[in-house]
Structure formats: C-alpha cells, structure tokens
C-alpha cells in the first residue's frame, strides 16, 4: 500500500495547481486554503476551505488535469490520500460499501464527463463539494484516516509491542506455550489496548501488515524462550507461541504462503506456532478461511478457535473445520463458578471437543477454584491472570526461569 502522510503547508504555498495532473486528495487538518481558478489570465478566488474539508478528491477517480488551484491562506497541515491508498481502502471495505463506492464513482465520473460540456459554474461545483464535506460520515472517515496514519507511523517507529501470556498445561502443571498480545506504546497516551486499535487496523487494512509483523516478532520471541527452556536444543515439542489473526488477513488469498515463508526465513519449527482465529471469523469466511487453515496445518502449524462460544457456531459444526484446539471464552469461565448450568455447559464442550480429537484451552482463569474445576473436567490448558498476566518478553524470560507450578486442589 502506498503512503498516506501528513504534510505541512506554509502560508502562500500552492498545494494543487490548475492544469497539473495529480494522484492525491487532501484532508485539511488545520489552517485554511483558497480555491482559485484562472480566468482571463487572472486568478479568481471562488471559495475557501477549512479543517475537515477534502480537497482534490477528483484525483481518486482519474488523473485528469486539476480544475482549480488550491493555495494556503495560512499555515496548514493536511493529510494526503493517494489514489492507490484509496483504491486499497475500497478493496478492503465491506462488500456492500465496496459495491456502493464503485457505483458512486462510476456515476461521478460520468457526471463530470457530461458537465465538462455544460461548463458547470464554479459556485455549483463549490455547492456540491460543501454538501459532500458535511455530515457525520465525513467526520468518521476523517477520523479513521487519522488513526490509520498514526497507527502506520506507530508500526514504522516501533511503538507496537507484543506482550506474552503463559498458557499452562494443567494436568501436568507445565508451561505449554504463550499467547502473543499486541499493545501500542503511545508516546503520550501510554499503553493502548488492542481492543481500541485492532478494529481500526482491521477497518483500514493495516492489520495485514501488523499481523505479519506480529508473526515475525513471535518467532524471535519463541527462539529466546526456547533458549531459556531447552538451552542447546531445538525441541519441536517445546513451548509454542500462539498468534492472533483477523478476517482481513485471509482476504489477500496468500495467507498460508506468507505464514510459511516467515517460518522458513526465521527457521522456526511450524509445530511451535499456533494460529488463533476467532469463531466469528470462521463463520464470516468459511470457504477461504477453511482452505487457508487446511494448508497451514499441512505444513505443521496448529490452529485454535478463539473466543469459542461467543459466535453462532454449534459444536456439531466444528468437524467441518481444520482445527486442533478451541479456546473457551472467558465469559463461560466467569459464569461457571456462579451457576451450575454453565458448569455443565463447559463440561459438555470439553467432552464433545475431545470426541472430535480437539484440545481445549480455557481462557480468563482468575481463581484457583476455576483452575481446579477445569483440571477435574479434563481441560488440557488454562490461561488467565491467576497464572500470569500478559507481560513483555524480558519479564517473561524471567518468569519462565523462575516458574514453580502453583498448587491446584
């Protein structure tokens, strides 16, 4: 994807020149600009635009010459949106949005072609622009572009970090593996939770780059962990690292190839990497996801269904999918100690999963009672604050070295 970036424009600078070809539009973040057209050799001002306005948006459609000159009346900051970036956004949008965008763009192009003959007066073009620049939709779009740009910069500046949370094999009371969980170390706002920025990244398509990054960092972490756990050996059965993926990661169509090439270049045994996919992802894109996961399993990576029980799938549906384990969502674990019906539910999920040869991981264990109940039910692995919170790699290595299994009834 091409760059979207902030630019500072000095008072009097020309951002867009009439007659030039351009492939970027701009969102004014601060300051204001004037719109000028050349008439009889003189520049005539036909309007001004301030923060929140989009200018030069025709470039999103084609590379026809610019129809006006845009000059800064005061110092401005603008966010540049390139045509390639815009096309990428349209491509990665929800199918309905994508379809509507295509129709609108085709009609807009058509309208422009016709009005060129009619010589639409400038005040009319300005009115059209004003109508498009107002409203909530516009604010949302501008906000999403802003966060997208900040997030992209964060990725480039190394502000994204992975924390790791231990997953414990409760029958043997050994560390089975770790889940990689993303954090944004914001210079002013501090640690930002993935619940805030992952949805934005999914929306804008940046998630693919972030997932790729997370997989690479997880591979490096795995090597560091193995160096502590099995110094001098490369044990295929040592602890695993589980990495989260989103529905957008599958839309490119080369998911399994990408995974394979990262694992190969990092020289990681695929058995030590688990892929976590939410249950709702499987429901959204069963065909594509199923094939991609099948391929990943064929070269040895394990696949876990995340947040099991929160989507719409039924247990009977599970055998359609190529999976090795399922992670019972923490809401069930929370309910379990309060309510006998939930306990029965968890017990039957474990039983049915085992009948299908699927391992069970319970999430969100906060008390020794929960751990004891799950151990008794035959659940293989548990993850939760009671064992350990997610932590930076450095702390994790110390944690692994000093690990003494807690006592469970």
Binding site for ligand C2E (CB under 6 A): 165, 181-182, 193-195, 198, 211, 214, 244-246, 306-307, 330, 364-366, 383-385, 390
By the rule CB under 5 A, 306 interacts with Ca ion: yes
Half-sphere exposure of 324 (CA within 13 A, CB side): 19
Least Å distance, CB 207 to ligand C2E, is 6
Q: Pick what 193 binds: Ca ion, ligand C2E, none; C-beta below 5 to 8 Å, kind-dependent.
A: ligand C2E
Least Å distance, CB 248 to ligand C2E, is 9
Q: Which residue number, 306 or 381, has a Cβ lying nearer to ligand C2E?
A: 306
Q: Pick what 380 binds: ligand C2E, Ca ion, none; C-beta below 5 to 8 Å, kind-dependent.
A: none
Q: Which residue number, 334 or 347, has a Cβ lying nearer to ligand C2E?
A: 334
Judge residue 290's burial from the number of C-beta atoms within 10 Å of its C-beta, 0-12 exposed, 13-18 middle, 19 or more buried: middle
Judge residue 105's burial from the number of C-beta atoms within 10 Å of its C-beta, 0-12 exposed, 13-18 middle, 19 or more buried: middle
Q: Which residue number, 85 or 279, has a Cβ lying nearer to ligand C2E?
A: 279
Q: Pick what 182 binds: ligand C2E, Ca ion, none; C-beta below 5 to 8 Å, kind-dependent.
A: ligand C2E
The full DSSP string for 91-114 is: HTS-HHHHHHHHHHHHHHHHHHHH
- CA–CA distance, 51 with 28 (Å, rounded to integer): 5
CB 15 within 8 A of CB 79: no
Q: Pick what 220 binds: ligand C2E, Ca ion, none; C-beta below 5 to 8 Å, kind-dependent.
A: none
Q: Which residue number, 121 or 199, has a Cβ lying nearer to ligand C2E?
A: 199
- CA–CA distance, 267 with 237 (Å, rounded to integer): 15
Q: Pick what 194 binds: Ca ion, ligand C2E, none; C-beta below 5 to 8 Å, kind-dependent.
A: ligand C2E
Q: Please give the span between the terminal C-alpha atoms of the chain, in angstroms, as a whole number.
A: 53
Helix (H, G, I), strand (E, B) or coil at 74: coil
Of 57, 85, 279, 307, which one interacts with Ca ion (CB under 5 A)?
A: 307
By the rule CB under 5 A, 380 interacts with Ca ion: no
CB atoms within 10 A of CB 231: 7
Residue 162, phi then psi, degrees to nearest 5 = -110, 135
Least Å distance, CB 198 to ligand C2E, is 5
Q: Pick what 181 binds: ligand C2E, Ca ion, none; C-beta below 5 to 8 Å, kind-dependent.
A: ligand C2E
Kindly list the residues in this chain that would bind Ca ion in the complex (CB under 5 A).
244, 276, 306-307, 363
């Amino acid at each position: 994807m091409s760059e979207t970036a902030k630019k500072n424009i000095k008072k009097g600078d020309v951002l867009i020149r009439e007659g030039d070809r351009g492939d970027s539009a701009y969102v004014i973040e601060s300051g204001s600009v004037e719109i000028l057209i050349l008439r009889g050799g003189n520049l005539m001002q036909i309007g001004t635009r301030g923060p929140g306005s989009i200018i030069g948006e025709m470039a999103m459609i084609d590379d026809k010459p610019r129809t006006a000159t845009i000059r800064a009346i005061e110092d401005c900051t603008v966010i540049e949106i390139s045509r390639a970036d815009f096309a990428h956004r349209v491509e990665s949008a929800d199918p309905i949005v994508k379809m509507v965008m295509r129709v609108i763009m085709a009609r807009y192009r058509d309208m422009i072609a016709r009005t060129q003959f009619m010589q639409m007066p400038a005040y009319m073009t300005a009115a059209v622009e004003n109508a498009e620049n107002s409203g909530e939709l516009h604010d949302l779009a501008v906000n999403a572009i802003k966060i997208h740009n900040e997030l992209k910069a964060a990725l480039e500046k190394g502000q994204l970090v992975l924390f790791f949370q231990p997953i414990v094999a409760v029958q043997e009371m050994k560390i089975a593996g770790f889940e990689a969980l993303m954090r944004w170390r914001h210079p002013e706002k501090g640690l930002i939770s993935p619940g805030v920025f992952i949805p934005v990244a999914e929306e804008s398509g940046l998630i693919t780059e972030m997932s790729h990054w997370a997989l690479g960092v997880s591979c490096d972490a795995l090597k560091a962990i193995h160096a502590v756990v099995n110094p001098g050996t490369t044990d295929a059965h040592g602890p695993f690292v589980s990495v989260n993926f989103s529905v957008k990661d599958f839309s490119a169509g080369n998911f399994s190839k990408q995974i394979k090439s990262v694992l190969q270049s990092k020289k990681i045994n695929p058995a030590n990497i688990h892929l976590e996919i939410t249950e709702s992802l499987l429901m959204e894109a069963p065909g594509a996801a199923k094939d991609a996961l099948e391929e990943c399993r064929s070269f040895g990576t394990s696949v876990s269904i995340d947040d099991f029980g929160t989507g719409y799938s039924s247990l009977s549906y599970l055998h359609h999918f190529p999976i090795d384990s399922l992670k019972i969502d923490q809401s069930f674990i929370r309910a379990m100690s309060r309510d006998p019906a939930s306990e029965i539910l968890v017990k039957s999920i474990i039983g049915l999963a085992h009948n299908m040869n699927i391992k069970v991981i319970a999430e969100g264990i906060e008390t020794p009672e929960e751990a004891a109940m799950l151990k008794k039910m035959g659940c293989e692995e548990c993850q939760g604050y009671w064992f350990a919170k997610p932590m930076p790699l450095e702390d994790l290595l110390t944690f692994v070295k000093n690990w003494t299994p807690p006592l469970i009834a």
